[in-house]
Amino acid sequence: MFTRNRVVAAPVEVGRAHLRRNRGRVRAALVNAGNANCATGAAGITVAEQSCTALGAALEAAPQFIIPSSTGIIGVPLPVEKLLAAVPAVVVERTCSVDALKAFATAIMTTDTRMKLASAEFAVGKKTVRIAGVCKGSGMIHPNMATMLVYLFTDLDAEPKELKAALKTAVDTTFNAISVDGDTSTNDTVLLLASGASKVKFAASGVAKKFAEALRGVCASLAEQVVRDGEGAQHLVRLQISGAKSVGEARTIARSIANSPLVKTAWAGCDPNWDAFSHPSARAEWRWIRGRSISSSACTGVQKGCGAPL
């Protein structure tokens, strides 16, 4: 899954093209931090393709089986020579270990203040299926993903279409339901890779449900870590909307509240000003006031449509 921005970076364009060509079969992800390779014109596309060709050759795979990702400053040419020079050592030194996963999580950080990792596992008979996730992101965070790169790895044996459906469901209620500053990005990428090493089939009885629950748990943990590490963030706030006519209406109301500067000022100042919450709710065209309630933590500002004493 990629950003929904109309303006996208070169690696997103190349990644989309590669997924169409490889039909969801991916050999590796190539990630760099410090330069987003965005607003770099045709040269940016060439750089992304050259890097995929180099890694593909080292892994004895065609370029379309490599997905590129970049994060960092935009509008500056990406020095491809640095990527190409690093490929041989990266391939030779690759290992399957917790330390390697932590090194990867650290390497892709930009304004992040900490690495972001999450994992889960579940049993299927005598076998165990594992999921590990790595994420970077702290600024330009808004629903419809954010300035995030997310890589999810599992040893489940699954087909691309099975993984795609499971990923969409997990992302919808996690990465697509967070906000820090209300801005989206040009480079957002969420990639789910399955090795099949567990020998457990996605289609086996009960596996799909267990996998969906475990995957959502990993994504939810990573999404919360992004918000906790948000640039300038001092609070983690969860919005719970009830009484809406539909999930879509609830999302509209929640996003209107979450992205309101007035509401964020109230949270930052630890001021339970329910009036700040009512205006963005009304802006979302929700007829909330009659019989509705608004509360923040232990404080109730509106109770059954009327202001409550604080």
Give me the active site residues, please.
Answer: 147
305 three-state secondary structure:
coil
State the DSSP code for 157. Answer: B
Residue 289 pairs with which residues in a beta bridge?
A: none
Nearest Cα neighbor of 153 from 186, 182, 129, 122 is: 129
Could you give the angle at the alpha carbon of 25 between the alpha carbons of 220 and 135, nearest 5°? Answer: 25
Q: How far is CA 157 from the centre of its chain?
A: 23
Residue 149 pairs with which residues in a beta bridge?
A: 136, 189
Report the distance separating Cα 132 and Cα 4, nearest Å. 25
- Confirm if 36 and 72 have CB atoms less than 8 A apart: yes
Amino acid at 305: G
Residue 162 pairs with which residues in a beta bridge?
A: none
Report the distance separating Cα 174 and Cα 256, nearest Å. 17
168 three-state secondary structure:
helix
- Confirm if 230 and 111 have CB atoms less than 8 A apart: no
